[in-house]
Structure 1
């Protein structure tokens, strides 16, 4: 299996920003040294989640420091970016990482709020705008000096390449473009991405639903004409997100999970605990029937469904069994958060990551995804 670290901590306000960022940097280096495939940053705006905010900046910081892992982004809401400026920053990241970069892009969450207010967007505009910007991005990656690229997304318009010396800069290190994935939780978008040969990044799902999405994606890749090697490559990057809390015993792990879910991880407003869930500790809620899940953030679901979707808790043996079940179900790449809320002692997060790397990963087996081969690097940059 492949494991990626996701720097997705939430904080209880600005005084905790520095500690959260520093802990993320510390965990990134630990993961790089202990067999993790990638270190992913996200992108958030005007809230207390992922307090570094600028995932591209965070990933660029890591690009020259990590020795083994890819630098990744999951996910960038493409709808709030100018597509050519986005290309410029992503290509630079790929240069800095020497082709070991991957960026997930999405239309953003329907109820994300502030970012869309700033961009003057309404939720119904998102899908069409995303597709228009993705078209520009893909054409820009294929651009060559001397060619004219014209674009109009409905929000930005213009051209590049019409004058001497005018070009995309820099070009990516990997040829013909950096690795990129569509961040989505919807079957229609997963199918569309698979049939077009694009990579996919998933959010948090419980086992059965995640397995269904993986099978759907695999079928779509085959329907689109992908050969066995292309399918294997795409499936290796089909990340799905989980929080993980590992401790020496199951009971201790649940104690730490309760601590981590204080403060900024108090029950989100779209979670509607059932009458039976009210007032119970998380370990008891976990045992209750889940009801329907809601993978799109902001859609109502029970607290039990939310927990089963987002978190794995337990001793190394318990966590290893759950992780192995995902691999057995056709999901070979897990995207894992080991720091949640800033109200908890960071020592429990350090210990959780250490136990996962030293006791869980050896039990289930882990491997890295190689960097680009010589023929996947632009000819001008080949050693």
Structure 2
């Protein structure tokens, strides 16, 4: 089983930011030492919902400290980015990581606070995301010899006439995935040989195991080269948000406190109108907590083993961390490293080759 540790710490105020970011870097190094296959980073903006905000910049810092673990950016919010910027940043991080990189693209957050701040609240995020992914792939596929490549969309303008630098470490492009929960898209990604980054494993009705078969059947029916199929399968899995403690009772107490305090991040009312922000924050945290697996390490291990038995190759562990409880936070990571990873057969991802076969550029 490949295990990613998803690190998206929240901050309750400016006074916490520096310590949280420094601790994240140390945690990533410790996770690598304990056999984690990938360090997962994400993108959220404003109010401390994701303290480091920029996964590319945080990833560049981690690249100097990681030697075996991969980085996985899940996800890059394409509704907020010009496609050429995504290409340049991905290429640079691919070089810094010597190819140990997977970048998943998606529309991203539907948060009115985030979208309003960037002035994109009225965009059709799904349409713009599809257009920007197509434009990014045109840039990656450009041979540099023709007159230029159009990277424009319905909301962007741009024609590239000079060499895009740096070139990616892996040729012809870095490993790009697509985050989705839609069955038709899952099947299409499998048919095209594109890594599918699926959502949460647990649902109110059980789990999402049917998505595994949708993808794998389409992938294996696609006639792809074995190297393509195996690379895609290594990333096939789900996120698993956990609230873990030494005992079941303590985990449940910790979960109750997490919900009561409003998660691990900012106090309501710190940004924008108090009522608006409080309502949005509550929706986010209730949704996050409702999909959590709450238990002691053996309960977490049992669920990861169930994922593997259902056909998952990869689990993204997303720890729900209590606010302002440094001792609890340290204990949670210690439990993950010492009581969970050794019992799920955590494997390291293989070193990437400079040249990788690609099945398709149709990623929308």
Q: TM-score under structure 1 normalisation? A: 0.81
Is 1:201 matched up with 2:200?
no
Separation (CA, whole Å) in 2 of partners of 1:151 and 1:234: 27
Shift of 1:328: 0.8
- Equivalent residue, structure 2, for 1:292: none
Asked if the contact 1:99/1:178 (under 8 Å) is kept, the reply is yes
1:190: which partner in 2? 186
Does 178-187 or 5-14 show the bigger shift? 5-14
Corresponding position of 1:130: 129
- The 1:101–1:374 alpha-carbon spacing in structure 2 relative to 1, beyond 3 Å, is closer
| Residues 224 and 118 of structure 1: CA distance in aligned 2, closer, same or farther (over 3 Å) | farther
Q: Could you tell me which of 356, 369, 374 is aligned with 2:349? A: 369
Q: Distance in 1 between matches of 2:230 and 2:122?
A: 34
Distance 2:91 2:285 in 1: 41
Residue 276 of structure 2 corresponds to: none
- CA shift for structure 1 position 302: 12
Question: Structure 1 CA distance, aligned partners of 2:49 and 2:315?
Answer: 20
Looking at structure 2, the residues matched to 349 and 119 of structure 1 have their Cα atoms a distance apart, in angstroms, of 32
> 2:168 corresponds to which residue?
172
Is contact 2:170–2:356 with CA below 8 Å preserved after alignment?
A: yes
Counterpart residue number, 2:114: 115
**Aligned partners of 1:244 and 1:352 also within 8 Å:** no
**Which residue of structure 1 lines up, in the alignment, with residue 216 of structure 2?**
218
**Residue of 243, 249, 270 corresponding to 2:241:** 243
| Secondary structure of the corresponding residue to residue 168 of structure 1 | coil
Secondary structure in 2 aligned to 1:194? helix
C-alpha change, 1:83 and 1:375, in structure 2 (3 Å) is closer
SS in 2 for 1:144: coil
- How many angstroms does 1:336 deviate by? 1.4
Number of matched pairs:
341
Distance 2:218 2:32 in 1: 32
Aligned to 1:323: 304
* Contact kept? 1:143, 1:168, Cα under 8 Å: no
Tell me, yes or no, if the aligned pair for 2:259 and 2:285 is still in contact at 8 Å: no
Alignment partners' CA distance in 2, 1:326 and 1:371: 25
Q: Distance in 2 between matches of 1:338 and 1:368?
A: 20
1:338 matches 2:307: no
Residues 1-383 of structure 1: matches in 2 within 5 Å? 1-109=1-109, 111-122=110-121, 125-147=124-146, 148-161=148-161, 166-206=162-202, 208-227=206-225, 229-265=227-263, 307=289, 309=291, 311-343=292-324, 345-373=325-353, 375-376=355-356
CA–CA separation in structure 2 for the residues paired with 1:96 and 1:81: 21
Matched position secondary structure for 1:173: coil
The CA distance in 2 between the partners of 1:168 and 1:228, in whole Å, is 30
Q: SS state of the match for residue 218, structure 2?
A: helix
On the 8 A contact 2:136/2:151 being kept in 1, the answer is no
Which one is further off, 186-195 or 46-55?
Answer: 186-195
Q: 1:170: how far off? A: 0.5
- Give 3-state SS (helix, strand or coil) of 2:72's partner: strand
Task: Decide which moves more: 172-181 or 13-22.
Answer: 13-22
TM-score, normalised via structure 2 length: 0.85
Structure 1 residues 235-294: Cα deviation after superposition (integer angstroms, max 9, x where no partner): 211242222233322222223333444434189xxxxxxxxxxxxxxxxxxxxxxxxxxx
User: Any conservation in 1 of the 2:197–2:236 contact (CA below 8 Å)?
Assistant: yes
Distance in structure 2 (CA, Å) of the matches to 1:302 and 1:77: 20
Evaluate the alpha carbon distance shift between residue 358 and residue 254 of structure 1 in structure 2; reply closer, same or farther with a 3 A threshold: same
Q: Give me the CA root mean square deviation.
A: 2.8
Match of 1:272 in 2: none
CA distance in 2, matches of 1:376, 1:215: 25
CA contact (8 A) 1:8 1:340 kept: no
**Counterpart for residue 282 of structure 1:** none
Does the 8 A contact of 1:261 with 1:341 survive in 2? no
Match of 2:273 in 1: none
Unmatched tracts of structure 2, length 5 or more: 266-279, 358-364
SS at 1:98 equivalent? coil
